[in-house]
Amino acid sequence: MRRDRGSRLMKVDRLRRSFWKCSTGVARAASDSSGSPKGRPARSIEQPRQERTSSIGSEHPGQRRRALEPTGDPRVDALQAAFKRYNPEGTGALDFAEARAAIWDVGLQPSPKERRGMLELIDEAIGDSESRDGIHFGEFEALVPRLREAALESRREDLQEWYAKGLDGHGEYGVESAKACLEALGAKAVSSGEWLEVKKIFAGFAEAAAGLTGRRRLTPNGQALLNRISDQRVLGESTGDVQFELFEVLYHQAQEALVAARRAGERRLGEELQLSEAHFDEFREDLVELHGLFEEHDGRGQRALRIEEVMNLLVAFGCVEARSWLTMQALLEMMQKAKEFAVRRNSGSGIGPAGAVKASVSTRQISEMPVYTTGPAGESKERLTVISEAGEGACEEVFADFNE
């Protein structure tokens, strides 16, 4: 299903701004408190985090300071994993930025209009904490349902409109319509793999809805789905529409699953590419999508692009509308600036054997540096090196004639 034009234009505009910013070597300013959370790849064992000290009151001390161990409940274990990512011992407190990032990691990423309300709830939870230096796991665990309920109320009107579009003439909702709904309400483009996971969440929906509304007898598949969500709420209590509220619960579960999976994918990619914390925070929002597009244009699978491939990539990004808009010389100059900027930011850069350029460069910072080699006639010949991210000092290189 095609994404709506507005969503595509927003993505292209964001990527275009990012490219021109990289090409001029200008770093993105640090986001304010209402911006994207500073989530990051987990710290390695060799870099332990110093635990905060806090004054813990006598009321419910076990809840706040209990050691975090696997419970066997996937929902609780996911919360523990998110909390420990920013507080490895699990017994300290998360400050505002860490709590926000951990909440994003479990899938509760707000829409722009929901952001202020969600951040206020997080701030309120920290203010109400006895320690006053952040929230401990018990408080974090108690905050998540409040955030879920706030998101549910905030999105209900929009969700009802999209739900109505998926109803057939008999009042039954087609699950295939959920994909457009998810994309329209903030899930970006849902890939084929992600859609398979969404369908698993909605498995049994038609049978459960038919049984709840009395259209047909409840089947085992439908009952299994209801058992899975029975501890969350009484369906039909809020709107009087049982089928819609069943859809609403599953929609939010799918939305959270998509966000959590994408956040995990961003962390894995950040670790694989060995991005610094600052670099990861700067490019995180588009990292996975950009890396996917980069690989799509890397025809040889060498994690490196020839100049022609770079040009094709920029056209695909929407940075330039046609190849004729950007000369090769202008592209080389911008790529040179990106390389110089990347090298300045990366203290581990250096020159490897035989003059090969070694540097850690963001996927987004498609970069180049002139390298001089000896031609067949023994004369010095300038060639172009285009490098993609492959970890500090471990990137692959491909050479193309300067005129190419």
Same domain, 318 and 383: yes
What single-letter amino acid sits at 234?
V
Judged by average pLDDT, the poorest of 7-11, 24-28, 253-257, 308-312 is 24-28
Q: What is the pLDDT of residues 292-349, one digit of tens each?
A: 888 888 877 777 777 778 888 778 777 776 666 777 777 777 777 777 776 666 544 3
pLDDT band at 290 (very low <50, low <70, confident <90, very high): confident
> What's the pLDDT at 368?
36
Q: Could you identify the residue written with the tokens 């285009």?
A: 386
Q: Are 307 and 328 in contact (CB under 8 A)?
A: yes
Each residue's pLDDT tens digit, 114-161: 899 999 999 999 988 877 778 999 999 999 999 999 999 999 999 999
Residues 343 and 238 in one domain: no
Residue 339 counted as domain residue: yes
pLDDT digits over 17-63, tens only? 444 444 433 333 333 334 445 454 444 323 333 333 333 333 444 44
Backbone angles phi, psi at 369, to 5 degrees: -150, 135
pLDDT the model gives residue 359: 32
pTM of the predicted model over 0.85: no
Q: Where is average pLDDT lowest: 17-26, 70-79, 191-200, 351-360?
A: 351-360
Instruction: Give phi and psi for 383, each to the nearest 5.
Output: -130, 165
From the list 232, 236, 205, the residue with the least C-alpha distance to 221 is 205
Are 340 and 383 found together in one domain?
A: yes
Number of domains in the chain: 2
Q: Average the pLDDT over 166-186 and give the result.
A: 91
Residue 286: pLDDT over 90: no
Does residue 294 sit in the same domain as residue 341?
A: yes
Q: Is residue 62 part of a domain?
A: no
- Give pLDDT, residue 236: 79
Residues 6+ apart with CB under 8 A from 229: 246, 249, 250, 253
- The answer to the question of residue 18 being in a domain is no
- For residue 265, the number of C-alpha atoms closer than 13 Å in the C-beta half-sphere is 16
What pLDDT, on a 0 to 100 scale, did the predictor assign at position 58? 34
Q: Are residues 331 and 265 in the same domain?
A: no
Looking at 272, 299, 319, the residue that finishes a domain is 272
pLDDT at 393 over 50: no
Comparing 146-155, 218-227, 364-373, which segment has the lowest mean pLDDT?
364-373
- Asked whether residue 137 falls in the same domain as residue 242, the answer is yes
Residues 321 and 190 in one domain: no
Find all residues with CB under 8 Å of 355, minimum gap 6, and list them: 371, 372, 373
Q: What DSSP assignment string belongs to 189-245?
A: SPPHHHHHHHHHHTTTHHHHHHHHHTSSPPPHHHHHHHHHHTTT--TTTTTS-HHHH
Asked if residue 319 and residue 385 are part of one domain, the reply reads yes
- Indicate whether 261 and 328 sit together in one domain: no
Of the three residues 250, 272, 294, the one that is the final residue of a domain is 272
The share of the chain scoring above pLDDT 70, in percent, equals: 64
End residue of a domain, out of 243, 272, 301: 272
**Domain annotation covers residue 34:** no
Shared domain for 165 and 249, answered yes or no, is yes
For the cut 90, the answer to whether the pLDDT of residue 177 exceeds it is: yes
Of 198-207, 288-297, 313-322, 393-402, which gets the smallest average pLDDT?
Answer: 393-402
Report CA torsion sign: 394, 398, 401, 404: negative
Helix (H) / strand (E) containing 373: strand 367-374
Q: pLDDT-derived band of residue 252, with 50, 70 and 90 as boundaries? A: very high
232 lies in the same domain as 250: yes
In a domain, 31, yes or no: no
262 and 113 in a single domain? The answer is yes
- pLDDT bracket for residue 66 (50, 70, 90): low
The range of the structural domain enclosing residue 80 comes to: 5-10+69-272
Supply 122's token pair.
């997080």
